[in-house]
């Protein structure tokens, strides 16, 4: 294990800007995890080549950690959250309930917030850390996120010589624990209230609302969603990203990864690379080229304080520079970028870059994806 520790420590010191002590602490924890896996795995013990296994496992964990470190706090959280969301999407809603897409996303958010806390507790326990430990630096946050990804994908043995990923089992349990639906009549469903003990009908609240929504295909939010999809497709095609457009079209059909790979003729690795490239363009589309359209759809436009609560809005404004505050005020007044550039004595391109940074800051506050686990970064 000494060779494994030296390998990890050397790579961390060369590939990150963390202090030597931080690199040493993380290297020791990863080494201890590798040792534990090698010791507990009957297959590794029976292989006769434990050194090769330990080196391979160490490199894999190191690669994961550095991936999140290089993505940074904001993009790393998005990467982790989107990856785990995709895994549990099909399992998070009980099969007898026909929930809307947005309702399922809300459930996924609730589930993952609890799962992040569970993962942090497991991280503390397995590394013998204090109950008050929280990742504070970027390297520690990257270590925690890579651990959370591995923790969720652990295979748990089941009866009948089967096994399943831990996060899927947790998602199924979470769905089963959702409260039963209350039966009401259509007027109560429309009003969103009423005495649930009277006028019991044949449909539940979510089902009634789903049918009511289905009767009006021209709802503003539906029209806006179609516009966002259309503009994103156009954005991808204009940049000659047809493979990303094809991938997006298949994702809209909620196809599993293996079916997407079969249709596009890709290996799992190629599909993963395509997914990362699509996410890159999706973020650029959402935060720069069509930010107004996307934020309006998400009800996070300037009229809604970029989707922030009053407390978050105060935090956001307190954390920006005077020039950024002036830029925000001009945007709120719907001043065009060319005029803003003249007022701020800069170029329109610089205005766009500064505005994108502001949107990213607001997005990070609004989607503090693992705030429930108390993770932050001081580095």
How do residues 80-132 score in pLDDT, each as one tens digit? 988 888 888 878 875 555 555 667 777 888 889 889 989 999 999 999 999 88
Task: Kindly state whether residues 21 and 149 are assigned to the same domain.
Answer: yes
User: Whole-structure pTM over 0.75, yes or no?
Assistant: no
Task: Kindly state whether residues 209 and 226 are assigned to the same domain.
Answer: no
Q: What average pLDDT does range 56-82 have in this prediction?
A: 90
Q: What average pLDDT does range 191-215 have in this prediction?
A: 39
Instruction: From 295, 325, 355, give the residue that closes a domain.
Output: 295
Task: Kindly state whether residues 69 and 98 are assigned to the same domain.
Answer: yes
pLDDT at 238: 78
Task: Kindly state whether residues 291 and 319 are assigned to the same domain.
Answer: no
Q: Is residue 123 part of a domain?
A: yes
Judge whether residue 23 has pLDDT over 60.
yes
Task: Kindly state whether residues 240 and 310 are assigned to the same domain.
Answer: no
Instruction: From 189, 215, 241, give the residue that closes a domain.
Output: 215
Judge whether residue 52 has pLDDT over 90.
no
Q: Is residue 379 part of a domain?
A: no
Task: Kindly state whether residues 61 and 207 are assigned to the same domain.
Answer: no
Full domain range(s) for residue 199? 179-215
Handedness of CA 373, 154, 74, 239 (dihedral sign): negative
Q: Is residue 372 part of a domain?
A: no
Mean pLDDT of the chain: 75
Task: Kindly state whether residues 25 and 143 are assigned to the same domain.
Answer: yes
Tokens of 375: 């993770």
Q: Count other Cβ atoms within 10 Å, centred on residue 89.
A: 16
What phi and psi values does residue 202 have, to the nearest 5 degrees? -100, -5
Per-residue confidence band for 141, with pLDDT thresholds at 50, 70 and 90: very high
DSSP annotation of 178 reads S
Judge whether residue 201 has pLDDT over 80.
no
- Name the residue among 156, 185, 181 with its Cα closest to residue 169: 156
Task: Kindly state whether residues 206 and 158 are assigned to the same domain.
Answer: no
Task: Kindly state whether residues 10 and 115 are assigned to the same domain.
Answer: yes
Q: What are 311-344's pLDDT values in tens digits?
A: 777 777 777 788 777 877 777 777 777 887 888 7
Domain count, the chain: 4
Q: Is residue 377 part of a domain?
A: no
Q: Is residue 252 part of a domain?
A: yes
Task: Kindly state whether residues 24 and 169 are assigned to the same domain.
Answer: yes
Q: Is residue 251 part of a domain?
A: yes
C-alpha dihedral, 69 to 74 to 75 to 80, nearest 10°: 80
Instruction: From 270, 295, 320, give the residue that closes a domain.
Output: 295
Q: CA angle, 40 as apex, 35 and 45 as ends, to 5°? A: 85
Q: Is residue 331 part of a domain?
A: yes
- Name the residue among 57, 9, 68, 13 with its Cα closest to residue 34: 57
Most confident of 70-79, 238-247, 276-285: 70-79
Q: What residues pair up with 162 in beta bridges, in sequence order?
A: 158
Q: What residues pair up with 298 in beta bridges, in sequence order?
A: none
Query: Which residue, chain included where needed, has tokens 């020039």?
Result: 323
Q: Is residue 21 part of a domain?
A: yes
DSSP annotation of 204 reads B
Task: Kindly state whether residues 84 and 199 are assigned to the same domain.
Answer: no
DSSP annotation of 219 reads -
Task: Kindly state whether residues 183 and 172 are assigned to the same domain.
Answer: no
């Amino acid at each position: 294990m000494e060779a494994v520790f030296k390998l990890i420590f050397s790579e961390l010191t060369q590939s990150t800007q963390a202090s030597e002590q931080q690199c040493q602490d993380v290297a020791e924890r990863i080494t201890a995890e590798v040792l534990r896996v090698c010791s507990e795995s009957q297959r590794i013990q029976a292989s006769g080549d434990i050194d090769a296994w330990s080196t391979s496992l160490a490199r894999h964990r190191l690669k994961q950690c550095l991936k999140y470190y290089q993505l940074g706090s904001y993009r790393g959280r998005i990467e982790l959250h989107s990856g785990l969301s995709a895994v549990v999407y099909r399992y998070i809603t009980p099969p007898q309930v026909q929930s809307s897409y947005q309702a399922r996303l809300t459930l996924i958010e609730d589930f993952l917030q609890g799962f992040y806390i569970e993962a942090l507790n497991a991280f503390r326990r397995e590394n013998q850390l204090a109950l008050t430990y929280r990742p504070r630096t970027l390297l520690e946050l990257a270590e925690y996120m890579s651990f959370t990804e591995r923790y969720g994908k652990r295979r748990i043995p089941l009866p009948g010589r089967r096994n399943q990923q831990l996060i899927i089992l947790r998602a199924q349990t979470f769905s089963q624990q959702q409260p039963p639906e209350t039966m009401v009549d259509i007027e109560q469903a429309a009003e969103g209230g009423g005495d649930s003990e009277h006028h019991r009908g044949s449909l539940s609240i979510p089902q009634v609302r789903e049918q009511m929504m289905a009767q009006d295909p021209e709802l503003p939010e539906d029209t806006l969603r179609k516009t966002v999809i259309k503009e994103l497709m156009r954005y991808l095609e204009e940049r000659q990203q047809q493979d990303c457009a094809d991938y997006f079209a298949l994702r809209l059909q909620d196809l599993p990864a293996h079916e997407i790979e079969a249709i596009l003729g890709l290996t799992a690795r190629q599909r993963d690379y395509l997914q990362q490239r699509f996410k890159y363009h999706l973020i650029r589309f959402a935060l720069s080229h069509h930010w107004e359209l996307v934020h309006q759809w998400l009800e996070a436009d300037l009229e809604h304080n970029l989707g922030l609560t009053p407390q978050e809005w105060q935090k956001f404004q307190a954390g920006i520079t005077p020039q950024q505050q002036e830029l925000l005020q001009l945007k709120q007044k719907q001043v065009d970028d060319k005029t803003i550039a003249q007022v701020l004595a800069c170029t329109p391109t610089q205005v766009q870059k500064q505005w994108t940074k502001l949107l990213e800051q607001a997005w990070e506050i609004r989607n503090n994806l693992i705030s429930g686990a108390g993770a932050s970064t001081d580095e």
